Structure 1
Amino acid sequence: MSEWEQLRDAMRATERPETVLDLDLVMREGRRLRTRRRAAGVGAGTLAAGLVAVVLVGVVARPGDPPAPERPPPAAVAPPSAAVSPTAPDSVEPTAPPTVARDVPPPKPVGQLIDSGVRYGADRRMYYVVRVSVPGAPKVAIGLAAGRQAPDGALTTDILVNDVEGSDRGPGFHEIGYDDSSSTTPVPTFGYFVGPARRIIGTVDGRQVDARLARWSIDKQVVIFWFEPGQLAPGQRLDGIIARDADGRRL
């Protein structure tokens, strides 16, 4: 007889009038049963987890048992999506990946190449004018490129700058090209000026830096300039820039 059955039998003694209630037996059996329950409570969580695991695994049929009735397969439940903002609008669509142009020939130089004197191993830093087309700006037809020329004459264009409005031959300074520090061959700061400039001076951190000059072979009024990397670090922005004529007058 189990301990629980012994306790229950002792307590049911009151139901039988011919039996005398043994209070000592009831108290003793009750204390012993409570003590065993407290000891078993330590592993209750582990036992419950084990039972759940058994239920999830399934029922194992024993020899001689009737076949289990077929059950419909469980409905598929989609996994919860991760990192979804509850405030994100429904109309937001994923951004399409950028289109990358491949196997596009480099722009063809118009006029002569200008050798800057800057070298990257066997490659030479060159500046050259190329033709461009800007929608809505019919008077913008040229841009200025900074590229590298390999020993076999092949050109690689690194940066191309051009106006986006007005006229590409208007007097004064036009777009200035700055290196973005993402290339392994930094591009010296460059640009072009239209007019009789004989000296171009840039200001950075309170000091003045003279640029090197060369005239475009097609139009001598287009003065191409660039700054030596030792004088102005590629990518460093100018605080100001001016041009002067042969007499030193500011243009």
Structure 2
Amino acid sequence: MSELERLRAAMRATERPDTVLDLATVMREGRRLRTRRRVAGAGAATLATGLASVVVVVAVGASGPGGPAPTRHPAPVAVAPPSVGPSPLAETSLSPTPPPTMGRDVPQPKPMGQIVDSKVRHGTDRRVYYFVPVSVPGEPRVSIGLAAGRQAPDGGLNTDLLLNDVQGSDRSAGFHQIGYDEGSAGAPVPTFGYFVGPADRIIGTVDGRQVDARVARWSADKQVVIFWFDPTQLTPGERLDGIVARDGTGRRL
């Protein structure tokens, strides 16, 4: 006999005149039935929710006939909020990274022609300038670059800065690229460059002040004049406002 049938039997007993109403039995059976219904209702809701979840997963991963197999997405995982405190990122140094230099353990480009001694010293090393071969894709007339380096007493070279044209001809008349110190961690590089033509004097201007550069002709091509500024007269990295070249008669080229 089911619970519902028991309750009905208890209630029918009250219809007979010779039967005494057992209220305790009626209330007990009624509470038991309501409890069963609540449990069944909760279970039904849970089942419905589970079915709905299955439908969602299949709908997200499914495709049409012949398509790829459904992708089952993992259930979301609760992640504890981060603790309050300094971020590891805050401990990372934000100092700017200096431009890379070519160390002595790296193969150095072989100088073309003679090395020019600038008479500037960095400890036991001397500041030197020299041309090296370069290659720029699509620019067959660019084949040389001017390097600022340091030469050790044993003759070893350390290239600090290399500059070259990126288009046109590296032997065209006039000034070419000018090299400025980029704040490297090594020895400061005095401002330098080269000029193609019969120049005997190179004059730079900064803040209305004229500064003469030192000059030397390249041994491989006397039309190419290497110049650099004494770091005691022009601070390495300080930009020039203008620059001119003059021949032996003082004529501007």
- TM category, shorter: 0.5 to 0.7
Give the TM-score normalised by structure 1: 0.61
Give 1:181 shift.
Answer: 1.6
Match of 2:130 among 117, 128, 131: 128
Structure 2, unaligned stretches of length 5 or more? 1-74, 84-100
Structure 2 SS opposite 1:221: strand
Q: Which residue of 2 aligns with 1:195?
A: 197
Summarize deviations over 1:83-106 as a string: whole Å, max 9, x none: xxxxxxxxxxxxxxxxx9996411
Q: Which residue of 2 aligns with 1:168?
A: 170
Amino acid in structure 2 at the alignment position of 1:139: R
Inter-partner Cα distance in structure 2 for 1:81 and 1:143? 53
Amino acid in structure 2 at the alignment position of 1:238: L
Amino acid in structure 2 at the alignment position of 1:77: A
Amino acid in structure 2 at the alignment position of 1:168: D
Q: Which residue of 1 aligns with 2:78?
A: 77
Amino acid in structure 2 at the alignment position of 1:109: P
Give 1:186 shift.
Answer: 0.3
Q: Which residue of 2 aligns with 1:139?
A: 141
1:153 corresponds to 2:142? no
Inter-partner Cα distance in structure 2 for 1:186 and 1:75? 56
Give 1:127 shift.
Answer: 0.2
Inter-partner Cα distance in structure 1 for 2:234 and 2:182? 14
Inter-partner Cα distance in structure 2 for 1:104 and 1:112? 21
Q: Which residue of 2 aligns with 1:107?
A: 109
Q: Which residue of 2 aligns with 1:208?
A: 210
After superposition, where does 1:32-43 map in structure 2 within 5 Å?
none
Give 1:232 shift.
Answer: 0.2
Give 1:234 shift.
Answer: 0.3
1:241 corresponds to 2:239? no
Inter-partner Cα distance in structure 2 for 1:225 and 1:179? 15
1:219 corresponds to 2:239? no
Summarize deviations over 1:126-147 as a string: whole Å, max 9, x none: 0000000001211000000000
The aligned length equals: 161
Pair 187,212 (structure 1): closer, same or farther in 2 beyond 3 Å: same
Pair 124,238 (structure 1): closer, same or farther in 2 beyond 3 Å: same
Give 1:75 shift.
Answer: 7.8
Structure 1, unaligned stretches of length 5 or more? 1-73, 83-99
Pair 101,77 (structure 1): closer, same or farther in 2 beyond 3 Å: farther
Amino acid in structure 2 at the alignment position of 1:165: Q
- The question of whether the paired residues in 1 share the 8 Å contact of 2:113 and 2:219 is answered with yes
Give 1:78 shift.
Answer: 4.0
Pair 101,112 (structure 1): closer, same or farther in 2 beyond 3 Å: closer
Inter-partner Cα distance in structure 2 for 1:127 and 1:155? 10
Inter-partner Cα distance in structure 1 for 2:126 and 2:228? 14
Amino acid in structure 2 at the alignment position of 1:186: P
Pair 207,153 (structure 1): closer, same or farther in 2 beyond 3 Å: same
Inter-partner Cα distance in structure 2 for 1:179 and 1:128? 17
Amino acid in structure 1 at the alignment position of 2:162: L
Give the TM-score normalised by structure 2: 0.60
After superposition, where does 1:56-95 map in structure 2 within 5 Å?
76-78=77-79
- Superposed CA RMSD in Å reads 2.2
Summarize deviations over 1:232-251 as a string: whole Å, max 9, x none: 00000000000001111100
- The question of whether the paired residues in 1 share the 8 Å contact of 2:128 and 2:149 is answered with yes
Inter-partner Cα distance in structure 2 for 1:182 and 1:114? 22
Kindly, what percent of the aligned residue pairs are identical?
A: 71
Inter-partner Cα distance in structure 1 for 2:184 and 2:121? 18
